Structure 1
Amino acid sequence: LIQSNDLKVDESSLTGESDLIRKSFDHDPVLLSGTHAMEGSGRFLITAVGLNSHPSKLSVVNGLPPCENKKEAEPVVILEDESKGKSVLQAKLSSSIVAAATVLILIIRYCITHYAVNHESFKTSDLAYFVNFIIIGVTVLVIAVPEGLPLAITLALTYSVKKMMKDNNLVRHLDACETMGNATAICSDKTGTLTTNRMTCVQSYINGSFYKTQSPSYELLDGNTRERLVECVCINSGYSSQVYTFNSSRKSMMTVIRLPNDVFRVYSKGASEIILTRCSYIFGDAGTIQNFNFGRVAELTKNVIEPMASDGLRTIGLAYKDMVPKGTKTEANQVEYNHEIDWDDEEVVRNGMTLIAIMGIQDPVRPEVPAAIEKCQRAGITVRMVTGDNINTARSIATACGILKPGSDFLALEGKDFNARIRDENGKVSQEKLDSIWPRLRVLARAHPCDKYVLVKGIIDSKGIAGTDVAKEASDIILTDDNFTSIVKAVMWGRNVYDSISKFLQFQLTVNVVAVTIAFVGACAISDSPLKVWHLTSE
């Protein structure tokens, strides 16, 4: 971005966040391909297109194998796939192995008998035998697959797709029905899919007190704490000088507002363990400002954060920081700056904060999810949770859903621990190590997109509607209600395709198998088929 006038951009197609992002020459000047300018105007210089654009890089993570080495890209050669546009079953129907084997056996047996054993020379009349062998092979090919089977498969797939749409499954590729019918493992996100995605604050830690069963009284909090707490929660709706948006690397967001006398106040909220590491002070009893060291971090983690997470709560930390001009510092937790603040130096902006509170937010499990997961397990399908949440929160929700069971030896790992266990000394994924981990892995917490790719090893066929547009482009089925039970329905209708075809084959293959067997055995035994063309085609 080289020039802008109050430019705001919608990046929800990439991040899933609906909030507009302010862009300016000196603050967040990068515009991403596929985003939309919603307010203001501006001029920009294009620096990357095509495969080098941000959406393409995300597409690689979602749907294509990552590059192991960063060599110069070679020219891409597009090859036509003969089976493109066909489902798995339809592609199998085009197999001509039996017919080819029949023709080959007939020709080989004839040649050995007449030319090798009887020492006869080749005659023009022998061509009639070879033509007859080919006719028999083509006939076997015709009757090997019942004439109604391709139509039966198409009807079964179409029927299942229609039923899946009513069950909130939007099928983008027809062969996804068969894929779901063969599914043996489902990797699901937590928020919104296994849970209701309706957040309610049920526990809190404020002014040195842990409110576990009841909310703190607003009147009992000191004025300083009340003011900071209310502003920290509500500041997103007001004017801000600077915004550091939430992303998977920050695990938090920061908003900067300008106060009188050139004072800048930074409010931050995000994952509690991340916020704690950035704080140097804390609001203690009666709102007094106290030093916050590593010992206090460990104490709060053990006595507050872990109990909240064990109850299945998402823990959010709230903190702030006042940045004042040099020589005007009046409080211990204020930070002085010279002349101007370098907002691009995020380390300076986010460190030295004062912890206001820790909130425990409840996201209840969908009532229908435990029964759906149990149904999957009875059907031989392993359900795994892959989430970006805290490991204790993820473990608690997984236990409530039935993914983890008491007394089992299943694993619940964080992304960094998962990578440490599956990678060799060179940082590459070891298939042997991965094979020793994934059968027992049930929960992967604090997971990044690349962790999900390594675990799933391919395109995830089912994505929630809350996912980004890039994720949907890589998916075969989209859940329009973002509900785990819809995945169970997709598996059910996928298996229905095979059940329907099996019922059809019970009636069709009785005669066909007998006819093909007689023709094939006859070709091997007497160099001719006991059943002629008119016999076979009349079946």
Structure 2
Amino acid sequence: MNWHQATIAETFRELRSSQDGLSSAEATARLSRNGPNIIPEKSGRSLFSMILAQFTDLLIIILLISAIIAAVIGDIEDAIPIIAIVVINAVIGLTQEYRAQQAISALKKMAGQTAVVIRDGLRQDIAAAELVPGDVVLLQAGCVIPADLRLIESARLQIDESALTGESAPVEKAVAPLADPDLMPGDRVNMAWRGTVAVYGRGAGVVIATGTDTELAGIARLLAEGTEQKTPLQIRLAHFGKRLSAGIMVICAILFAAGLLRGEPLVLMLLTSIALAVAAIPEALPAVVTIALALGARKMARRNALIRRLPAVETLGSVTCICTDKTGTLTMNRMTVTEIGINGNRLSPGEIRAVMPKSGSGLPSDKSSLLLLAAALNNDSRPAEEAGAFGDPTEIALANLAQSCNFAVTELEQLFPRIAELPFDSDRKLMTTFHSVESRVVSFTKGSLEAIASRCLPDEAPDAGTIAAAEAMAAQALRTMGFAFRYWEKLPEEIDTATAENGLSFLGVTGVMDPPRPEAAEAVRLCKSAGITPIMITGDHSATATAIAIEVGIMTPDDPPAVIGRELYGLDAGALAELSGKARVYARVAPSQKLEIVKGLQSRGEFVAMTGDGVNDAPALQRAEIGIAMGITGSDVAKGAADMILLDDNFATIVGAIREGRRIYRNILRFITYSLSSNAGTIWLVFLAPFAGLPLPLLPIQILWLNLLCDSLPGLALTAEPATDDLMCKPPIPPQEGIFSNGRGTWIMTYGLLLGIVGLLLQRWGISAGVPWQSMVFTYLVLSRLAIAMLVRSKQPLFKIGLFSNKPLLGAIAVTMLLQAAVLYLPPLQQLFRTESLDRHQMAVVIGAAALILATGELAKILRRSIGKSRA
């Protein structure tokens, strides 16, 4: 049934209830039949299943097999670190399992804990969980709506529905039936929704839905149905793991067969093949990725971006569009007077020149001071101990206007006490208050400009300039409020609207809106320069959304108009995807539609970040590749569904977080390039040696040492590479781009082959010269890997980026060289690794061979740079 279309009598008849409420017996029976008014939580997976899930990744499986192989061949020292890496990653993964359950738990907390109802004809306080359809619930300012209600009484009742619909202004409620059957929840003004908050007035409603049948529970279902999205890096590493494992098996099989054909011992070839397989796997990769993400998350937290799910750090690097809520995200979530029309002029609050009257001075004569007096005195908002003022947000904005101009509201109320009033009602759209002024009385009237103007004296009516100013404000989606006053010799005996609200003198008009955050426009501009498309999705009205979008730069006046939520009904997936490619603003959107818009963008290949603070945003936050919630104004539901929380509620913080995410992602790719090219060099060397008629160049333990030493410290130091200046001037990395794309695969194979060939030449020379060739090749591979670490830092030459711009890497190189020196020259380690000491001439040859790798890479960069300049 469309409850908003039904009359109050029809509603009671359908629910078998009345103005006196249900009887206690009937309420008990309905509670037994319908169940409690709660949102059930989705049961989580068992601890065993969560632990098991951490070991299903192919790369993790390969690492575990490698650890077992290392242990079998007696290399416990290499097996232990590999197992430790796997365990650390599993522990980190376990901490992320309760995200959806936490969001649903927060939904339960949003509903009122108690409710005031009429049962047996009497007023009673009951637990909100005991509400049933047909209960009559009494409402007053400050209460959380405990169930979905069809309103039956409204005395200036206003409800803040921003958490559910996204509309910034409280909704003034009515009780009359509505004709349109397809109204969005935010337009059904005769309904009150569970989890929203009454902020003004009082009212009553009959319960039409409880528990899982409420609008709020619908969001809980969307959250429960949400699935975890794999990040770009997780997808790429999964593909990489499959290709790597296949390649390793082929190479090791060929090497094993070639060695046997050369007459090498069976056991030696078996151990070498196994060692090479272990060496080919970048076992430090999961640890490096985890540490890089953790350090990035720590850095982001210092900049007010709290990461709830570690992979979200690198996910930011691939974001192609940001779907942002308006209220509290792009705007301040605080109604504010931004313009004033007075004496035919449009002024900002800072341009008003007025002086607060003092005791005994009477009323001021200038309109600016009188307007501020009217804003302060014709006002029912009241200070609260927490969170600023309490009351109607527009009245709070007017009181703040007075305060900002040094008109102390509390002092003015004592100086000009209110002695009578005509409350606001939606029919006449006016409110009037009467105040003592020494021996006289003054009345201040506020309301719609049209209603005010029609009640002013002909010579005191608003002039053409003020009317034009008000029309311009309305065109910019500001809520206009007119003010007038009248002197009285004494308080009228009969205070009625016909007498008290006529013969007025016009003062001015105010324009009220929820203004954009000062830094939002610059943040939007930076997003666009980084190839990221910002899109506004809000439950607010189209005019308001469009005005804010134009002001912050999300859209221009020439762009297609905002898409209204009802226009999305009936669209299939293809039509929605096509619309998603054009629309920049969506208004009057329901929570389920936000989710569908995100899906439509994803179907176009977009990598979506969704920002928001309300309950209405939670399902889309969970569905998006990265959900971003507001930390101050954000609901617990939104935070529970998000991957990242903005601690300062600042949209601009997202830009810094994206920049950091891009830096970390590129550094992870640097490590992968470094590790794979270095490992490829070892593989080429060991693989080609038998075919070149040379003995095996390395022993199994030396191969494992190379991997353990060079993939750890230098690899981790590469993740500290600072961001380049043009990082936010480049488009996002396409989510479908693979690890070997963009020339990385060619680079890895080229430099891996170069390392292998130089190593073979060094081995051949060492054998013919009768020097300790194996120790020389062993050390050459360590030093050449360090050269590769310097090369992968940037496509720019070393002299361009600066040798000391990554000091952690220089430190890691120094420590690595010292450890290798210990392996070469300390007798206990010589015995373990089967090495011999190298004299200075032999070491010079080794350093020269490694320097050849560095020089070749740097020369290639310089040539590429020169060619690029000549073409430009």
TM-score with structure 2 length normalisation?
Answer: 0.37
How far apart are 1:387 and its partner, in Å?
A: 3.4
How far apart are 1:158 and its partner, in Å?
A: 0.9
Change (3 A) 1:415 1:231: farther
2:309 counterpart of 1:167: no
The corresponding residue for 1:193 is 329
Secondary structure of residue in 2 paired with 1:441: coil
CA distance in 2, matches of 1:106, 1:186: 46
CA distance in 2, matches of 1:429, 1:533: 62
Q: How do residues 243-262 of structure 1 correspond to structure 2 at under 5 angstroms?
A: none
The corresponding residue for 1:442 is 584
Larger strand proportion of the pair: 1
Q: 1:490 aligns with which of 657, 660, 665?
A: 657
Change (3 A) 1:139 1:96: farther
Q: How do residues 30-45 of structure 1 correspond to structure 2 at under 5 angstroms?
A: none
The corresponding residue for 1:431 is 573
Change (3 A) 1:138 1:488: farther
2:218 counterpart of 1:57: yes
Q: 1:373 aligns with which of 496, 501, 524?
A: 524
How far apart are 1:360 and its partner, in Å?
A: 1.4
Q: Which amino acid aligns with 1:376?
A: C
Secondary structure of residue in 1 paired with 2:478: strand
CA distance in 1, matches of 2:596, 2:590: 10
How far apart are 1:405 and its partner, in Å?
A: 4.5
How far apart are 1:493 and its partner, in Å?
A: 1.5
**Residues 133-187 of structure 1, C-alpha deviations (whole Å, 9 max, x = no match):** 9989976653343232222111110110001101111111111112212111112
The corresponding residue for 1:92 is 238
CA distance in 2, matches of 1:227, 1:505: 68
Between 1 and 2, higher relative CO (CA 8 Å, sep ≥ 6) is seen in 1
Change (3 A) 1:137 1:212: farther
**Residues 416-441 of structure 1, C-alpha deviations (whole Å, 9 max, x = no match):** 3xx42xx4xxx433222222222232
Change (3 A) 1:399 1:469: same
Secondary structure of residue in 1 paired with 2:523: helix
2:124 counterpart of 1:4: yes
Change (3 A) 1:219 1:446: farther
The corresponding residue for 1:315 is 479
How far apart are 1:313 and its partner, in Å?
A: 5.2
Q: 1:153 aligns with which of 255, 266, 289?
A: 289
Q: How do residues 309-388 of structure 1 correspond to structure 2 at under 5 angstroms?
A: 309-310=474-475, 312=476, 314-315=478-479, 359-388=510-539
Aligned residue pairs total 410
The corresponding residue for 1:525 is none
Contact 1:376–1:488 under 8 Å retained in 2: yes
Q: 1:143 aligns with which of 275, 279, 296?
A: 279
CA-based RMSD: 6.2
Change (3 A) 1:396 1:29: closer
CA distance in 2, matches of 1:363, 1:477: 25
The corresponding residue for 2:641 is 474
CA distance in 2, matches of 1:410, 1:17: 23
CA distance in 2, matches of 1:149, 1:453: 35
Change (3 A) 1:363 1:439: same
2:319 counterpart of 1:183: yes
Secondary structure of residue in 1 paired with 2:534: strand
Secondary structure of residue in 2 paired with 1:383: strand
2:549 counterpart of 1:398: yes
How far apart are 1:383 and its partner, in Å?
A: 1.4
CA distance in 1, matches of 2:582, 2:193: 42
CA distance in 2, matches of 1:29, 1:471: 24
How far apart are 1:201 and its partner, in Å?
A: 2.0
The corresponding residue for 1:282 is 451
Q: How do residues 201-212 of structure 1 correspond to structure 2 at under 5 angstroms?
A: 201-203=337-339, 212=346
How far apart are 1:486 and its partner, in Å?
A: 0.7
Q: Which amino acid aligns with 1:187?
A: C
CA distance in 2, matches of 1:486, 1:87: 23
CA distance in 2, matches of 1:210, 1:264: 29
Q: 2:671 aligns with which of 475, 484, 504?
A: 504
How far apart are 1:464 and its partner, in Å?
A: 1.7
Secondary structure of residue in 1 paired with 2:653: helix
Q: Mind listing any 5+ residue stretches in structure 1 that lack a counterpart?
A: 19-27, 36-44, 66-78, 111-128, 239-243, 247-262, 271-278, 289-301, 320-327, 335-355, 523-528
The corresponding residue for 2:562 is 413
Secondary structure of residue in 2 paired with 1:462: strand
CA distance in 2, matches of 1:226, 1:155: 57
How far apart are 1:33 and its partner, in Å?
A: 7.7
Q: 1:234 aligns with which of 370, 377, 380?
A: 380
The corresponding residue for 1:41 is none
CA distance in 1, matches of 2:222, 2:498: 46
Q: Which amino acid aligns with 1:474?
A: A
TM-score with structure 1 length normalisation?
Answer: 0.56
Change (3 A) 1:97 1:391: same
CA distance in 2, matches of 1:447, 1:494: 30
Change (3 A) 1:478 1:502: same
Secondary structure of residue in 1 paired with 2:380: helix
CA distance in 2, matches of 1:201, 1:265: 20
Q: Which amino acid aligns with 1:439?
A: G
Change (3 A) 1:107 1:391: same
Larger helix proportion of the pair: 2
CA distance in 1, matches of 2:515, 2:192: 38
CA distance in 1, matches of 2:315, 2:597: 18
CA distance in 2, matches of 1:268, 1:482: 38
**Residues 199-257 of structure 1, C-alpha deviations (whole Å, 9 max, x = no match):** 43244689xx9864488999799xxx99998787426789xxxxx999xxxxxxxxxxx
Contact 1:309–1:396 under 8 Å retained in 2: no
**Residues 7-32 of structure 1, C-alpha deviations (whole Å, 9 max, x = no match):** 964579966999xxxxxxxxx99995
Q: Between 52-61 and 444-453, report the one with greater CA deviation.
A: 52-61
CA distance in 1, matches of 2:331, 2:426: 28
**Residues 23-73 of structure 1, C-alpha deviations (whole Å, 9 max, x = no match):** xxxxx99995899xxxxxxxxx9x855x556654333456746xxxxxxxx
CA distance in 2, matches of 1:491, 1:192: 20
Residue identity over aligned pairs, in percent, reads 27
